């Protein structure tokens, strides 16, 4: 079995960290496999959404595998480039649901925050232990945390290293849903199914627009023209939307 499993079913790509004996800490080899997965997902028009999950009950991911030492360092950012930590950033174009259980800390927390929707098992624990262990670097996880959580909650996590549980994560809007551990996979699949009911290219254009101007003033965002939205306007799915409306039926999306 690979340390990262990849499969596609019903327009949903499944990316699963499969190294539970190491708390799903990400090795250099896993970085390579994750990069291949993100590249395939971005390039395949038949993939409309992604579920990111992890094997085992104890941990979603505890970050990079530090046991590999300095020789692990490459030009690739952590998690196949998705986090942007330690190398170039890879932008995932398709909507992603993260199914999180157990420890989700450090770079693993960063990876979860790269998702668009987070479903957390009741045993999930989110944390930033770096400073408690005397570690801090060009740490993207603190920048994402302070943007996705209230300032004082994020700073308390950063400055103390203390974790928050799934219920608290949901209270502060970090997690979309909290479910029993045994229902985690089904809940993530349900979110992916909801996403895939929408026009896939419209979703991708919406995600690109949001992420492209999320850090800008509203006035700038409103005045921006987005290439992805303009491309969608000329797509086959827009023609299908118009035809379905005229014929009084539900549209059948193709992602073209």
49: phi then psi, degrees, rounded to nearest 5: -155, 170
- Enumerate the active-site residues: 110, 130
**Residues whose CB falls within 8 Å of the CB of residue 29, separated by 6 or more in sequence, listed in order:** 3
Strand 96-100 versus strand 49-54 pairing type: parallel
Token pair for residue 220?
């700038």
Segments in 44-150 forming alpha helices (H): 107-113, 140-148
Q: Please give the order of strands across the beta sheet that includes 164-165.
A: 59-61, 103-105, 125-127, 164-165
């Amino acid at each position: 079995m690979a340390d990262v499993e990849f499969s596609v079913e019903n327009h949903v790509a499944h990316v699963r960290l499969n190294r539970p004996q190491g708390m799903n800490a990400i090795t250099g080899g896993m970085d390579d496999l994750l990069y291949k997965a993100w590249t395939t997902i971005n390039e395949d028009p038949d993939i409309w959404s992604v579920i990111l999950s992890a094997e085992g009950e104890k941990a979603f991911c505890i970050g990079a595998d530090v046991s590999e030492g300095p020789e692990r360092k490459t030009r690739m950012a952590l998690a196949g480039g998705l986090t942007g930590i330690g190398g170039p950033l890879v932008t995932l174009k398709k909507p992603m649901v993260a199914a999180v259980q157990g420890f989700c800390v450090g770079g693993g927390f960063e990876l979860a925050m790269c998702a668009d929707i987070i479903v957390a098992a009741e045993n999930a624990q989110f944390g930033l232990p770096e400073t408690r262990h005397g570690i801090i670097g060009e740490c993207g996880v603190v920048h994402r945390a302070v943007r996705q959580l209230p300032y004082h909650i994020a700073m308390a996590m950063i400055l103390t290293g203390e974790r928050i549980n799934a219920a608290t994560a949901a209270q502060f809007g970090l997690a979309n849903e909290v479910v029993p551990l045994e229902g985690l996979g089904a809940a993530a699949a349900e979110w992916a199914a909801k996403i895939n009911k929408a026009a896939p290219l419209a979703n991708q254009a919406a995600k690109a627009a949001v992420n492209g101007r999320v850090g800008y003033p509203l006035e700038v965002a409103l005045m921006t023209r987005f290439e992805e939205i303009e491309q969608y306007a000329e797509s086959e799915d827009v023609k299908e939307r118009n035809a379905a409306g005229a014929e009084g039926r539900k549209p059948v999306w193709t992602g073209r």
